[in-house]
Each structure stands twice: as structure tokens, then as C-alpha cells.
Amino acid sequence: MSLDVSLYIDTDTGGPEPYRSELFDYNITHNLGPMASEAGLYNAMWRPDEHDYTEAGQLIEPLRAGLQALLDDPPRYIALEPDNGWGTYGGLVTFAAKYLSACRMHPKANVTVSR
């Protein structure tokens, strides 16, 4: 199982449905959920809809703080890597950094997740 996060905008092009432009899409294993939780990233990444995060700009601070927590104490988080080998500290750092960058680039984009 995995988590898919997307940033998108809908544009009214005059047709019957708005045109959806995906600006960012990333996938990560659920096995990193406990590590993300320990770093304070879980709600922003896995459950934004349950915490009223609807726009990317709202995720900037929680993602920044969580990424900083990961970077400040690698051994703490490496110890939480799943025993089955699916998911790593480095993978979560990369995911958080890319997601944060996308949110900074597109702060008005809509946020959606698929769990």
C-alpha cells in the first residue's frame, strides 16, 4: 500500500467540466507513516483533509518543521526504518523536501491524497 499526494488546479475552459492540471504528484510507502508521525509530518502528508489543509500554502510550515526535525536527528529516524526494507529515512527526507518545494512553488494549488 502507498500514499499518493497531488497538487492541482482546476481551470474553467468553458467546457462542461473544468480542466485539471496536476502540478505535483508523488507516491510513498505507508511503511514510513510511523517515521513521518514521529517527525510531525503525518497529518500534513497522510491526513490533510482531516486537518483542513486544502491548499498547498497551508502545508508549508508543517512540512518545513517536519523536514527540519528529520534533518536534525537522522539516527532517531533511521532507527524507525521498517524491518521489511520497504521505505527508508532518505526516502522520507526526499519526499518531504520535494513536497515542500512544490508547495512553495504553487501555494494556491489544491491538495489531494489517496491512501
Mean pLDDT of 71-99: 97
Q: pLDDT band for 1, please (50, 70, 90 cuts).
A: confident
From residue 109, give the alpha-carbon distance in Å to each of 23, 35, 60, 100, 102.
Answer: 8, 26, 12, 13, 9
Domain that holds residue 27: 2-114
pTM for the full predicted model: 0.94
Could you tell me whether strands 19-29 and 2-11 are parallel, antiparallel, or unpaired per DSSP bridges?
A: antiparallel
Residue that is written with C-alpha cell 501555494 in the block: 107
- Quote the pLDDT of residue 72: 98
Mean pLDDT of 99-112: 98
Tally of domains in the chain: 1
With a CB cutoff of 8 Å and minimum separation 6, the contacts of 49 are 111, 112, 113
- Quote the pLDDT of residue 4: 97
